[in-house]
């Protein structure tokens, strides 16, 4: 009897863990599918039924795991924003000793590389920026403002050293983000117009160089003509 009871209890525990594991898998699959759906169609255009279909689950499971469409959207923004931050953590681990202009340069380079790898992230964010909404206010206060403040501070420091273009740092960061991301966000159009994919390694490396060259200025130790293809300190450039 006791052995039976024990066996049953063990089975229960195993089953529960299996169920918990499956629940987590389902949650993750819904989240991934929702990311694509929201990025593609925006909050209002997105369909939770499409999300469920893409994730391969029944559609009531979406509301079970995330309460409603807005809860799902917030969960997507939270996790993808976390990934955005994590990308910089991963690629700037050993950077604490370098000077601030070098930090800024690496941040901007990694921003380009993240944008190339995650065009959907920028679509997700852009859809909300067009008109005012509670979602936008939440997005700005929770995820956007801090990023701009950090970048603006670094830009101001670089400007004081004459190493970055002049202008309002927030304004300039919008220009940078626009210049960097549009070519990845409109990749299908770019493919038709330019006949090449913007996601190839060669193109992304070129894009990093071109975007940084637009905004960074070499230290003005000696007078020289304003050139773009100026010599730059050695960096990891695989091509």
Partner DNA sequence: GTCTATAGCCGGATAGAC
Partner DNA sequence: GTCTATCCGGCTATAGAC
Interface contacts to its own copies, rule CB under 8 A: 40-42, 44-45, 123, 126, 128-133, 136-137, 139-140, 144-145, 148, 162, 165-168, 170-172, 174-183, 185-194, 206-207, 210-211, 213-215, 217-218, 220, 223-230
Roughly what angle, to the nearest 10 degrees, separates helices 100-117 and 69-91? 130
Q: Are 81 and 143 in contact (CB under 8 A)?
A: yes
* # chain residues binding DNA, by CB under 7 A: 20
Dihedral of CA atoms 194, 197, 199, 204 in degrees, nearest 10, equals: -40
Does residue 118 bind DNA (CB under 7 A)?
Answer: no
Of 50 and 126, the one with the shorter C-beta distance to DNA is 50
**Residues 2-21: x/- map of binding to DNA (CB under 7 A)?**
-----------------xx-
- State whether the Cα torsion 141-147-151-154 is positive or negative: positive
Binding range to DNA, per CB under 7 A, among 58-66, 107-115, 142-150, 184-192: 58-66
- Round to whole Å and give the CA distance between 183 and 197: 10
The least distance separating its own copies from the CB of residue 162, rounded to whole angstroms, comes to: 8
Of 59 and 182, the one with the shorter C-beta distance to DNA is 59
The least distance separating DNA from the CB of residue 47, rounded to whole angstroms, comes to: 3
Choosing from 6, 9, 15, 68, the residue that interacts with DNA (CB under 7 A) is: 68
Choosing from 8, 70, 141, 206, the residue that interacts with DNA (CB under 7 A) is: 70
User: Which residue, among 32, 44, 100, has the nearest Cα to 69 in the 3D structure?
Assistant: 44
- Round to whole Å and give the CA distance between 114 and 92: 13
Does residue 69 bind DNA (CB under 7 A)?
Answer: yes
Does residue 58 bind DNA (CB under 7 A)?
Answer: yes
Residue 81 binding partner per list its own copies, DNA, none, with a CB distance cut-off of 5 to 8 Å that depends on partner kind: none
Does residue 57 bind DNA (CB under 7 A)?
Answer: yes
Distance of CA 14 to the CA centre of its chain: 37
Q: Is 196 helix (H, G, I), strand (E, B) or coil?
A: coil
- CA 99 to each of CA 87, 168, 206: distance values in angstroms, whole numbers, following the listed order: 20, 22, 24
- Identify the DSSP state of 134: H
- Identify the DSSP state of 220: -
| Binding positions for DNA, rule: CB under 7 A | 19-20, 22-23, 26, 46-50, 57-61, 63-64, 68-70
């Amino acid at each position: 009897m006791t052995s039976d009871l024990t066996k049953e209890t063990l089975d229960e525990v195993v089953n529960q863990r299996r169920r918990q594991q499956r629940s987590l898998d389902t949650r993750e699959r819904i989240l991934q599918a929702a990311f694509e759906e929201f990025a593609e169609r925006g909050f209002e255009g997105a369909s939770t039924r499409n999300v469920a279909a893409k994730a391969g689950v029944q559609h009531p499971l979406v509301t079970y795991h995330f309460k409603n469409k807005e809860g799902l959207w917030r969960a997507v923004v939270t996790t993808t924003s976390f990934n955005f931050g994590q990308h910089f953590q991963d690629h700037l681990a050993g950077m604490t000793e370098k000077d601030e202009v070098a930090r800024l340069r690496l941040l901007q380079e990694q921003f380009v590389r993240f944008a190339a790898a995650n065009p959907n992230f920028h679509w997700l964010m852009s859809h909300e920026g067009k008109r005012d909404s509670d979602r936008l206010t939440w997005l700005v206060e929770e995820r956007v403002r801090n990023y701009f403040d950090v970048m603006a501070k670094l830009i101001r420091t670089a400007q004081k050293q004459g190493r970055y273009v002049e202008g309002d740092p927030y304004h300039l960061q919008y220009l940078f983000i626009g210049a960097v991301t549009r070519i990845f966000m409109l990749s299908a159009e770019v493919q038709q117009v330019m006949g090449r994919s913007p996601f190839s390694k060669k193109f992304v490396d070129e894009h990093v160089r071109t975007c940084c060259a637009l905004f960074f200025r070499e230290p003005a130790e000696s007078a020289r003509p304003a050139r773009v293809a100026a010599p730059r300190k050695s960096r990891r450039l695989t091509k």
